[in-house]
Amino acid sequence: MIVAGADGCRTGWVVCRRDGNGALDIRVVKTLAEACEGPSILAVDMPIGLADMPRPGRTCEREARALLPGKTSSVFPTPCRPALACTTHAEANAVSKTMGVGLTRQTFHLFPKMREVDALMRGNEALHPIIHEAHPELAFARMNGGKPVLSRKRRPEGFAERLELLARHGFSWEPRSLPGAARDDVLDAIAVCRTALLIAQGAATRLGPEQERDRYGLPMNIWF
């Protein structure tokens, strides 16, 4: 059984694949569609399923923040679908504000990746049982006995702490440079790869009601 985790990076996606023997293959691909070839489960650190209104928004996000005290800012507020259609931050922010909530530039910078995932899921129903939304900090918290890892992953101590957690749970990685991706992107891809394995084993936790779907029938759940 092959499972995989994917995290967005500046040149595309970092993908960590794990085969049945536990061996990891980590590489950068340009499109998420490339990462879908092979694994039975692909966990992605990117929203799947978008609400039409920013409030109350997605149940899974509220539940995720409740599980990450001290780390709630790592759960970005997902834009509403009308805002995602906008091409500038000013326009997206204005549209979102008419519904009661502004939109940060940080979230707007994720729009291309969000659109890519959305188009992939809406365009191919066969991928629905394969691709699942995941969140690295929830994955690390689970590895850490349910406690959020409060150290910052871009700092040496935070990076080392997460690396050790991954190794302890069977996902050892010898840090090396990967052209097109930052080291913390790789950590996140490995973390959600573990989530993919848990999903495949029937051992993962789902946030948000199973029946909560967006207007296109896409699930609004986060797995860890």
Amino acid occupying residue 113: K
Query: For residue range 40-54, what is the model confidence (pLDDT) as tens digits?
Result: 999 999 999 999 988
Structure tokens that stand for 148 in this block:
């959020």
* CA 191 – CA 163 distance, rounded (Å): 10
How many Å from the N-terminal Cα to the C-terminal Cα in the chain? Answer: 19
Q: Is the pLDDT of residue 216 over 90?
A: yes
The domains of the chain, with CATH numbers, are 1-77+116-224 (3.30.420)
Q: Is the pLDDT of residue 120 over 90?
A: yes
CB 183 within 8 A of CB 202: no
**pLDDT band at residue 55 under the 50/70/90 scheme:** confident
pLDDT value of position 99:
86
In this prediction the pTM is: 0.95
- Nearest by Cα to 16 from 143, 196, 205: 196
Q: Is the pLDDT of residue 1 over 90?
A: yes
Query: For residue range 121-134, what is the model confidence (pLDDT) as tens digits?
Result: 999 999 999 999 99
**Section 76-102 average pLDDT:** 93
pLDDT value of position 77:
87
**Section 48-64 average pLDDT:** 93
**Section 106-118 average pLDDT:** 96
CB 113 within 8 A of CB 8: yes
* CA 72 – CA 53 distance, rounded (Å): 21
